[in-house]
Structure 1
Amino acid sequence: MTEHGDPDRRSPDPHAPGHDALAQTSREIAPRDRGAEPARRTSWLPGPGQGFGVTFAQMFRKVTTEEYPEVPKVTKPRYHGRHVLNRHPDGLEKCVGCELCAWACPADAIYVEGGDNTEDERYSPGERYGRVYQINYLRCIFCGLCIEACPTRSLTMSNDFELADDNRGDLIYTKEQLMAPLLPGMEAPPHAMRLGDDEKDYYIRTPDPASPAEPVTVETP
């Protein structure tokens, strides 16, 4: 029993492992002796002058004023904003319902259900398409990992950042909200492929104009 009468409070064993490290830590966090001299100042300015120096320095700097929302905010070209599901030039969807974006999402914000294409009802060039596609922007952290996981470059991120709402349900975007609009020459699916007899026409990569090489065609199974 210790001198305080508490049997559970025992003096540390000086021969116990780690005793030296514990003693060193205790000395580091020990309060400073009240009789010790205060730290010497290295500046000739008084204490209040040093404190207000930061305030006075800011007073003479040019103020940056952004008149948002009257003047729209211009974001960087690679800004991670709202997602977009892209289309092929004939209007078919690039999404093939592989669900890789949902697996790559660290916040579990993407939900995908794939469906099978048929000759009578075709939504994408592949065998499957994204029948259900949802992104929960209450969870999304805009990291862009879903973009890197997409094998068909279907999912990209736009510069749209105005996603605030007063209803939680409205922040779960559906496929209809995420699909890119139909441009001139596009036809709303389902319909047959218009650009060729097979899928290879969708995956032509244009080479560097300075290079004399012919365009490279990648055929998909």
Structure 2
Amino acid sequence: MGYLDGFLVTARQIGKTVTTPYPEQKAPKPERLHGRHVLNRYEDGMEKCIGCELCAGVCPARCIYVRGADNPPDDPISPGERYGFIYEINYLRCIHCDLCVEACPTEAITETKLFEFSFLNRNDAIYTKDELVVGDDGRPKQLPWEDWRDGEDLHTSAWMRATAPSGDADFEGRIAWSGELGYGTRPPEPPQQDADRPPPSGEGEGGNATADHGHGGH
């Protein structure tokens, strides 16, 4: 009888799909997934990068190389005094930590949901500014070795939208960034549900609530 029970369990699994048929189909990606970077532009077409090099300075993998230059007075590239003259990312070293996105003061660099890279040589892995800056429609430039699918250019600012100033929950749901070419002003992430919030200290499962005598108020 035991053998028959085992065959019955096996029969029940026949016909069920337990894996995603990649590459024909990709598994859904969360909004905050870190993928290939893009350099954004304002809605009027001007570049957001001001060549401040903060992203390169904060990068723990040292994969970003930036050099700024003064804006031409007769044909400025960015609204500031300077712009990103050279911008390179070496994806052989990038760990997609997103610290560059968090450090950028102008929201110039964000990450898409694309993470499939099929480089033919090492030079292809070093993305230049021409490859990183979005096109005239605001969409990322799709290179021959990249496998882009619908929706992978959306939510490129999700990490930035999720990190409120100083982690203050009062900033949840507020729009505090500029519009992007081709997308306008992106909507904020929805506020956390009460069920998703962790219980106050001492009130978790198996614990007892205790009074905090170390703080006089909120």
Common fold: TM-score over 0.5: yes
1:109 aligns with 2:63: yes
| In 2, Cα distance between equivalents of 1:161 and 1:71 | 14
**Structure 2 vs 1, CA of residues 99 and 71 (structure 1 numbering), >3 Å: closer, same or farther?**
same
Deviation at 1:81, TM superposition (A): 0.2
Deviation at 1:118, TM superposition (A): 2.4
| 1:167 counterpart residue number | 121
SS state at 2:75 partner = coil
Deviation at 1:135, TM superposition (A): 0.2
| In 2, Cα distance between equivalents of 1:82 and 1:110 | 13
Residue 20 of structure 2 contacts residue 26 of structure 2 at CA under 8 Å; is this kept in 1? no
Deviation at 1:77, TM superposition (A): 1.0
| 1:84 counterpart residue number | 38
- TM-score, structure 2 as length reference: 0.56
| In 2, Cα distance between equivalents of 1:105 and 1:159 | 20
Deviation at 1:63, TM superposition (A): 5.6
Q: 2:134 aligns with which of 149, 161, 180?
A: 180
| In 2, Cα distance between equivalents of 1:154 and 1:144 | 13
Deviations 1:40-61 (A, max 9, x none): xxxxxxxxxxxxxxxx9x9787
Count the aligned residue pairs: 135
Deviations 1:4-26 (A, max 9, x none): xxxxxxxxxxxxxxxxxxxxxxx
Deviation at 1:151, TM superposition (A): 0.3
**Structure 2 vs 1, CA of residues 71 and 203 (structure 1 numbering), >3 Å: closer, same or farther?**
closer
| In 2, Cα distance between equivalents of 1:122 and 1:150 | 20
Deviation at 1:183, TM superposition (A): 2.2
| In 1, Cα distance between equivalents of 2:31 and 2:135 | 20
Q: Which ranges in structure 2 are unaligned for 5 or more consecutive residues? A: 1-6, 139-176, 180-184, 189-218
Equivalent residue letter for 2:136: L
Deviation at 1:166, TM superposition (A): 2.9
**Counterparts of residues 69-218 of structure 1 (less than 5 Å):** 69-183=23-137
Deviating beyond 3 angstroms after TM superposition, the runs of 4 or more aligned structure 1 residues are: 58-63, 202-206
SS state at 1:102 partner = helix
| 1:65 counterpart residue number | 19
| In 2, Cα distance between equivalents of 1:74 and 1:174 | 29
> Percent same amino acid among aligned pairs?
52
SS state at 1:146 partner = helix
| In 1, Cα distance between equivalents of 2:120 and 2:130 | 21
SS state at 1:133 partner = strand
Q: Which ranges in structure 1 are unaligned for 5 or more consecutive residues? A: 1-55, 185-201, 209-221
SS state at 2:69 partner = strand
Deviation at 1:203, TM superposition (A): 5.6
